[in-house]
Structure 1
Amino acid sequence: MSQFNIKIAIQKLGNVLSSMVIPNISAFIVWGLFAALFLPAGLFPNEHLSTIAHMMITYLLPLLIAYTGGKLVYDQRGAVVGSMAAAGVIASADIPMIIGAMIIGPLGAFLVKNIDRIVEGKIKSGFEMLVNNFTAAIIGGLLAIVAFFTIGPTFTIVTKTLTTGIYWLTETGLLPFTSILIEPAKLLFLNNALNHGLLLPIGIEQVVETGKSILFLMEANPGPGVGVLLAYSLFGKGTSKHTAPGAALIQFFGGIHEVYFPYIFMRPLLIVAVILGGICGIATFVFLGGGVYSPISPGSIVSILALTPHHTSAYIANLAGVLIAGMVSFLISIPILKTVKDEELEDADLVPSIPVVNKIYFACDAGMGSSVMGASLLRKRVQDIDANIEVLHSAINDLPLNAQLVITQKELTERAKKKAPNAYHISVDHFLSSLEYDQLMEHLQNNNRKDTMMIIEKQPKSEINLLLEENIFLNQEFTSKGEAIRFAGNALVQAGYVNESYIDAMIERDEMLSTYMGHGVAIPHGTEEAKEDVLYSGITVIQAPKGVDFNGQKAQLIFGIAGKDGTHLEILSRIAVVCSDSDNIEKMLEAKTVNEIIRILSIDDQ
């Protein structure tokens, strides 16, 4: 496998792991706090409250990881099956099975997803719920049994292998290089097994002979983990950057190393940073004669100083080993984080799995109304970042099978998914105003190539007889949206743009899906079937300062639209761009003459 392919594989693995861990970081942090406070070696030892920390690391965190991993693969159904299967993993060993949950959760969801596909359409009507429930129960139960007899024994073998390796390194004088095994073992949540099953017996013998042992510092050194967390604090992004400082404090002063594990899972290459940091830290302990006279638990700087022999040289050696380990880990983490920063999204602050695209489709029912406005608005924003993307509008029924990214109102998303099943779909509340646009823009800036000229959909230039003075109405009042829509439709009929039956189609269209677009703007128009009733393209503008209730939204500017052969798209695009600026809407609401509104709508795009 080439170096490039290995790098891509590592990045994909990091994305998968981070997608399971990031939503549960708060659970890791609260467990770390309980452990630092209430364990026997904590700040406020409490036998009863310490059981909460034990239950969290043994049961809660693995179940949350499995649930999240299953949900990523197959939504709620996958989450439930993944959690059931994780019960077998948890019961199979005495150590926290976080990694096992990361494996079994998505696997369980994958199996039930594919079995559902096999039986789809073969279940008799009325038995769907029964079959679905039993299918999930059988798969989850069987997988729990399989996991109990496979994953637990596998981790036991891993533990024995690590033990043998550390013995060999100790005997050959290569003690600093034990970090090559210790740091990955910690990420597998085998730190307690290492400490109490291997390092403790050997360390006690050394204390009897010399009064101190470096072995107690090898796994407990907080330096490597703190270095990674400090790098995230300065060079991370989104949730990881904001949570890293708190995690660093918990680890350094509370000694809970597990809080930095999720940050390694997000960028697996960071394992190199903690390994090299650990090697340099242990080498420093050896060179300066560091060591402590008792096992360290938890592995905090406070515990290390408390158990250091009362000699100045010992304090200097132990502090130097921690600081150098942290510094090396920090410096190595920086290029790793900065390298991937521009190549992929950092975490779930954005939509994490949007693909690199060169076309975006705005889709609505007919493809001639709200989608045109949404496409026009996004096209302007795409121009601002100079991305190589073609922005198109489309009716849902006309979406191509190879569409890459489709934006629809929430009520239409399921229809769009059926028409373009391989596309990435984004749902918005309103085409004119949506937080998803900001997230999408940031993604496009970071991920799309900028080496070719952007293609912009060409719109018809003719505006003849589209927006006439007599079709602009000021200071109107309506008791309902139906009344407002009929007023707009009658204006189109009187102007000769549409047949009278088009009015009912406008009412029907709004009942199917609200034509409120956001920013106080509504654009009532007919259904796709009513295109035959359109004689010519035309637009009416209605100013309603007191507002009209559109399904709980207050519309103060109403644009009645009739489109034929695309000749209305130019001015509709202009309306979208103008109405995306709240100042322009305010000016149109305060306009005292028809010409003022025409002048605002005629402003050329910058």
Structure 2
Amino acid sequence: MEAKKNTSFKAKVQKLGTNLSSMVMPNIAAIIAWGLITAIFMANGWFPNAKIALLISPMLSYLLPLLIAYVGGRLVYEERGAVVGAIAVMGVVVGAKVPMFLGAMIMGPLGGWCIKKFDQLFQDKIPSGFEMIYNNFSSGILGMLLAILGTYVVNPLVVGGSTLMGKGVDFIISIHMLPLANIFIEPAKVLFLNNAIGNGILVPLGIQQAASAGKSVLFLLESNPGPGLGILLAFMFFGKGSAKASAPGAAIIHFFGGIHEIYFPYILMKPALIIAAIAGGVSGTFTFQLLGGGLKAAASPGSIIAIALMTAKGAYFGTFAGVLVAAVVSFLIAAVILKHDKSMEDDDDLAAKQAQMQAMKAESKGKEMPTAMSAQESVESYRDVKKVIFACDAGMGSSAMGASLLRDKVKKAGITDVTVTNTAINRLQDEAGLLVITQEELAERAAQRTPSAMHVAVDNFLSSPKYDEVVANLKAISQFEPTAKAEAKTETQASDPVANVDFAKVTEVDFISHDQHKGTATMATTLLKERLTKANKEVTVKNVKINDLDDDSSHLVVVTAQAAKNLRLRYTNVQIVVVDDLLTSDKYDEIVKKLN
């Protein structure tokens, strides 16, 4: 029981960190644009230009906070939340003397949460035909009130907090204690909190520091590729089996591609190597400080190429020296650990060792990897799979490479009706026909976000034997797909969906809102309301998301055949009517007639 609580706590910490990171990650391009304009065209830049330099201050003070708040609101409540979050953050931004990244991270999600709760209270009570008026004015009025709240309450608090944090960072730097931060950063990275730490905490603080000092060492604390490079080099010379064979390729991808997740499994295989990572991080940061290294803006991904592009003028020696020192120190310590680790003699397969470790971990916790449906059950379980999504913390880097590998295997197998993409784990949407592939450490959160999907957990996105199993099952099921479709069609035609409903229990009719068909569900809701009104019947009709349904027989859910499969996987008590078209079905007259 205690182990289960610890796992849930870790998932919650990962979720919090990812939420912070997810507000910054989509806007890294804008931060890089600001950093390049600053580095090149500011008064003491490479090519000073007073006219172009006028962009620097507005981008820092307005553009970046607005983008962060917009994304933060969208994470909570899609487009309505995004708009309200952007309006709300203006109250914090206007008049502020410091960059309002922290304010944006507060007001964006707050705006999304407020409009979401407001809609839950009032949206289903709006008369037919007044939906647009309600949507526009509710967002506008609520955004105005939050902007005023931000001006008088949140702005002073954030300014005070930012000033205090800035002085704290300056103090730590002045007494040369900043390297100790890597004692916490390096282990947290291996637990897949690297994006949360880098983009959620260090990047906002680094931008604030760079705006006044011209550069910041904070951008390098998490993105420094030196510690990981040293560990991979140690495996190249002193490792064994597939760990040694795969290390050179991993080192190239890590150092030049900036995908740090690729070296995490090597540390998980030999946990003592975390000492090498910490020592490399501490020594690298110390060197950055000692020799004046620093970046103008975030280096994302943490590639040596991105670091070179973002390095401040006059800071190249200190920056590259810090990366080199970190790599050398981590290499030397990792080499000692690997040479004296006798257990390495029998470790001939990196993937097998990782699988064994994860199995032991799951056994010690008294549970299996949480899934909504095991991907190893049978070929039949792949019948409805139409989309494969690789999900990682940031939705870039390692998941993109994994998706590329599987996409190539699917193409070579001649499977044409299955798409393979990648995304951030917090942007996963529960939908029919979905197979989610993620790393073991993130499997719990993936299962929580997509409970009706199939799930496959891998140790390494770049080399997992489970890819071949997935492709083989998809290939096998494709042979039975025509038969399955014919059987489903026959079953639908053979039964009358309305006749099977117990209308005496029905108190609410629901339409499911899909990401791709929100408008259709909304219009169907309005049309059925109008029919019930003309029939003088007072029955609640709602347009809801699949996760918001109550599993009760008093709910009658009207769906298409495709959505019905997903619905039946999630709920057992709701009553279902399957229609061919949500807008023109001939079943509505019979439904209205039989409703009380």
TM-score over 0.5 for the pair: no
Return the TM-score normalized by structure 2: 0.44
Which structure ranks higher in relative contact order (CA pairs < 8 Å, sequence separation ≥ 6)? 2
Return the TM-score normalized by structure 1: 0.43
